[in-house]
Amino acid sequence: MATRPIVNGRVYHLVLKPGETTPYALLPGDPGRVDLIASMWDEVRLKVENREYRTYVGTYRGVPVMATSTGIGGPSASIAIEELASLGVGTLIRVGTTGSLWASVKVGDLIIARGAVRLDGASSNYAPPGYPAVPHPDVLNALITAAEGLGVRYHVGLTASTDSFYVGQGRPGLGGYLPSWFKGIINDLKAVKVMNFDMETATVLTIANVYGLRAGSVMAVVANRETDEFNPEAGVADACRVANEAVKVINEWDRQYPDYEVKSGAVLRRAYESR
Ligand SMILES: O=P(O)(O)O[C@H]1O[C@H](CO)[C@@H](O)[C@H]1O
Ligand SMILES: O=c1cc[nH]c(=O)[nH]1
């Protein structure tokens, strides 16, 4: 059997070695966002960088946590997940930016994904076409709990993850290029209640489900495709706050209910307990 590449004891792309990771990992696309996430921590004890992958390891309000940038798109995100999972990371939270398809979901709001349409290619390397890209209920509930606690404006919706930012999301390419099969993409997705576009959520959720990891996704709305507004900073700090706080929430649940084989967040936990 082929072996996985290890260089000087470290996984090839992330350049991390066993013992350097934490059970919970935050996954922004942008390496710069790792710094913003970590600026909210108690301390940063490790910084490692290679290609698009920037990793900081530290502590948030007493909970060991790490953040690794995935770069843009499913292929680079799949590499990050593979290498993190091989080092024992079990809970993944994407902390992204996104384009909203609905006027009511405004620039600066947050979207917490309750599922993703798999318009990416990478997830198809892992699972058949009908396989769902859904968050783990623990992570979904923790993100909602964190957003409620922080009092930020958020929505829980269906995301569509694409492999291209321009044509694949219905933005005309060079010289107005937009093939007929993408001309109606926004209206088609709105018709089936999809709330937003990103480029990693479907990959992250699919691979996490295939491997039995827990994953979720929170995104800051930086573009509104209905109103044509764009602000690359809007909501980004809130998304980072919510993701960090969700780690604290989920860690509390994990410590409170260590014996649950299938952990399922506050709402479902109550259902279990009443059985
Ligand atoms: O801001 P990040 O997390 O990179 O997410 C979004 O931004 C990038 C496109 O600008 C894509 O990666 C998309 O998913
Ligand atoms: O419109 C947008 C904004 C951020 N990220 C995307 O993938 N699309």
Per-residue model confidence as pLDDT tens digits over 169-207 = 999 999 999 999 999 999 999 999 999 999 999 999 999
The token duo for 13 is 């792309």
Helix-strand-coil percent breakdown of the chain, rounded to 5? 35, 30, 35
13 is catalytic: yes
Question: How far apart are the CA of 43 and the centre of ligand 1, in A?
Answer: 26
Predicted TM-score (pTM) of the model is: 0.95
Looking at this predicted complex, what is its ipTM? 0.99
* Ligand 2 site, residue 197, Cβ cutoff 6 A: yes
97 in Cβ contact with 201 (< 8 Å)? no
* Ligand 2 site, residue 199, Cβ cutoff 6 A: yes
171 is catalytic: yes
How sure is the predictor about 263, in pLDDT bands with cuts at 50, 70 and 90?
Answer: very low
The residue length of the chain stands at: 275
CA nearest ligand 1 atom 4, residue: 29
* 275 pLDDT higher than 60: no
* Ligand 2 site, residue 165, Cβ cutoff 6 A: yes
The angle that helices 31-38 and 236-256 make with each other, rounded to 10 degrees, is 60
Q: Is 127 left (phi over 0), alpha (psi -120 to 50) or beta?
A: beta
Question: How far apart are the CA of 207 and the centre of ligand 1, in A?
Answer: 18
Distance CA 269, CA 248 (A): 17
Residue 144's nearest CA partner among 268, 272, 273, 275 is 268
For residue 160, give Cα distances in angstroms to 8, 28, 37, 41, 198. 38, 17, 24, 31, 6
Q: Are strands 53-60 and 63-68 parallel, antiparallel or unpaired?
A: antiparallel
How sure is the predictor about 259, in pLDDT bands with cuts at 50, 70 and 90?
Answer: low
Domains of the chain (ranges, CATH numbers): 13-253 (3.40.50.1580)
- The CA radius of gyration of the chain, in Å to the nearest whole number, is 18
CA nearest ligand 2 atom 4, residue: 98
Note the pLDDT tens digit of each residue in 62-74.
Answer: 999 999 999 999 9
Judge residue 257's burial from the number of C-beta atoms within 10 Å of its C-beta, 0-12 exposed, 13-18 middle, 19 or more buried.
middle
Q: Which residue among the candidates 52, 82, 83, 200 is catalytic per the annotation?
A: 83
* Ligand 2 site, residue 80, Cβ cutoff 6 A: no
For residue 269, give Cα distances in angstroms to 63, 142, 212. 22, 12, 19
